[in-house]
Structure 1
Amino acid sequence: MSRKTYICNPKPLFNPPKNAKKRSAFILYAMKKASEIDVARNKLNYTLLPVDPKTGNVLVRFRRLNEHRACAMRAIVLAMLYYYNIHSKLVEASIEKLSDECGLSTFSDSGNKSITRASRLISNFLEPMGFIKCEKTNSKKMSNYISKKIFLTPMFFALCNISEKKINYFLSKSKNLIQGGESQKIFLSFSDIKIMSKMDEKTVRKKILNALINYYTASELTKIGPKGLKKKIDIEYSNLCKLRKQK
């Protein structure tokens, strides 16, 4: 069997689930930064020494990125950012979920699912390179695959060209909002923000209004009132302007 035949879906892409809750300002910023560069060709992939997570020893024989693994990495990095919790540093998604939404899962003729492509990328590359840390859990999501918790490390964000200073900025801002009794909400998707960055202010505000109307129930909108709704539009527009500048 040729290599081309063996690889299923040679150009995987991360497709966020429809109707999922909107992501935080940090996640939108981080995904934007990661999508602007080729994370699979970052020099860190070739200069860092891979280490065995179990022993701490440098791995002398180590498989670097071929093009198929590079394609998988580009997709799964965005997926990990999408599900990242900035407070716990945890990727709030299983390997199976990441594999499914990146188009990396395959099925045999008998209908059995395999997440080997994603699992090997995580266990045999991302973790030894120090981009992530994994912890095994007691439960098993699938037979033959041990469920793991995935934590993103500072090196992961260096890979995505995201500075520690920027992470601390979002973290501090988030904590201040929570302590002040406010919760910052971004009602626009990653793709929405990319499209709206080219629109004029009036059009953008109208789209934000529609997003808010779709997000809240009728009773919630009544409680918010016209003044409250205008304030939320101002906040969301301000957030969008900040994201435009943070390139």
Structure 2
Amino acid sequence: MTEQINLTSRQCYVVNPAPVFTRPAHHRHNLPAYNKQLVDTVSGRDVARWAGFYFYDAFHHRTNKPVVRQRHFNKHRARAINALVQAMVYHLNIVSGTIPVSFTTLARESGLATTSAAGNESITRATRAAHDLAAFGLITYKLLWDKVTRQFFPADIEVTDRFFDMAGSNPQAWEKARNQQLAWINLGLAKKGEKPLTRTEATRRQKEKLVEIAWQRRKTAQDIRRKRKIAALAARKDETDLRHQISCQIQHELSQGLHKGLTLDGFRKLVNQRLAWIQTVARQQE
């Protein structure tokens, strides 16, 4: 009996044994025809059993050393690869050949993200599947380290020609689709009186957009932390202390050349405005 229980536990050691990509509910746009074709194809295709996984040599995504496989993917890794690829073809930017979302987003939409009892999110299952795709030359990706915020930007994920063969298409169909998509984009730019884009420029803009989105999200996170600090500050101090602290801050700003022409009445008004804002934020955090 004990052996049977252990065997069953070993066979189902993942939280979601049958992950499937789910399109985000807030996405209302129509997919480009080529993306839709890829989504339909990979949804009914076991891409983890692609012949290239048996034919091509695998190399570690970081060290580039050969990976010696004694067996093929087990069923849980295979299902993870299938779900992850579905998410990738959905988000694929046809022109640039990039996946303009993070691995975290891909993991969540693919059913590969888990949350611990402590509330910590893990996307390890998705990243391991991505490592396999990279090892066989289906995708490339790199993580950009931001020295200022000491965080990684979302991975710069790009697909290769092999990716489309695995997805049931081919590089020639991708080339045709990206040329059509670029022509459609340039038609819209021409109507606005703007210069047409080259494929290189379109790729560069796509990557810049991804970085900008990452910065905006971090700014939002920083604002949330700042508001929490303000709420804690308001909870520790009474109104008189807060008013004094705000007045000192504005006085410092005046010494730095800010608020030129500020009158005494204007000074009082500014203090009252900031005090009201702090109290409003504090109530929102309760």
- Given the alignment, which residue of 117, 124, 131 partners 1:116? 124
More helix by share: 2
The unaligned stretches of length 5 or more in structure 1 are 184-247
2:81 alignment partner in structure 1: 73
Cα distance, 1:83 vs structure 2: 0.8
Q: 1:82 is aligned with what amino acid? A: Y
1:180 and 2:187 are equivalent in the alignment: yes
Superposition deviation, residue 130 in structure 1: 0.8
Letter matched to residue 10 of structure 2: R
Point out the structure with max Rg over C-alpha.
Answer: 2
Answer yes or no: is 1:161 the counterpart of 2:192.
Answer: no
Q: CA deviation at 1:146?
A: 7.5
Distance 2:96 2:137 in 1: 18
Q: Does 1:126 align with 2:133?
A: yes
Measure, in 2, the Cα distance between the counterparts of 1:160 and 1:76: 12
- Contact 1:138–1:147 (Cα < 8 Å) also in 2: no
Q: 1:63 to 1:96 in 2, by over 3 A?
A: farther
Q: Give the unaligned 5+ runs of structure 2.
A: 1-5, 191-286
The equivalent residue for 1:106 is 114
Deviations 1:148-201 (A, max 9, x none): 221111111110121122112211212222333389xxxxxxxxxxxxxxxxxx
Shift of 1:46: 1.6
Per the alignment, do residues 4 and 108 of structure 1 end up closer, same or farther by CA in structure 2, a change over 3 Å counting? farther
- Residue 7 in structure 1 maps to residue 17 in structure 2: no
CA deviation digits over 1:69-100, x for unaligned, max 9? 11111111010011111122110111111111
1:210-234 Cα distance to aligned partner (Å, 9 max, x none):
xxxxxxxxxxxxxxxxxxxxxxxxx
Report the counterpart of residue 213 of structure 2 in structure 1: none
Task: Tell me how large the CA RMSD over aligned residues is.
Answer: 2.5
Tell me how far 1:131 sits from its aligned partner: 0.9
Instruction: State TM-score, norm by structure 2.
Output: 0.57
In the alignment, is residue 96 of structure 1 matched against residue 104 of structure 2? yes
Aligned residue pair count: 180
- Structure 2 CA distance for partners of 1:139 and 1:83, relative to 1, 3 Å: farther
Tell me what 1:24 maps to.
Answer: 32
| Cα distance per residue 1:119-169 (max 9 Å; x no partner) | 11112x1111111101112259xx998842211111111101211221122
Relative to structure 1, is the Cα distance of residues 55 and 116 closer, same or farther in structure 2, using a 3 angstrom cutoff?
Answer: closer
**Aligned twin of 1:170:** 177
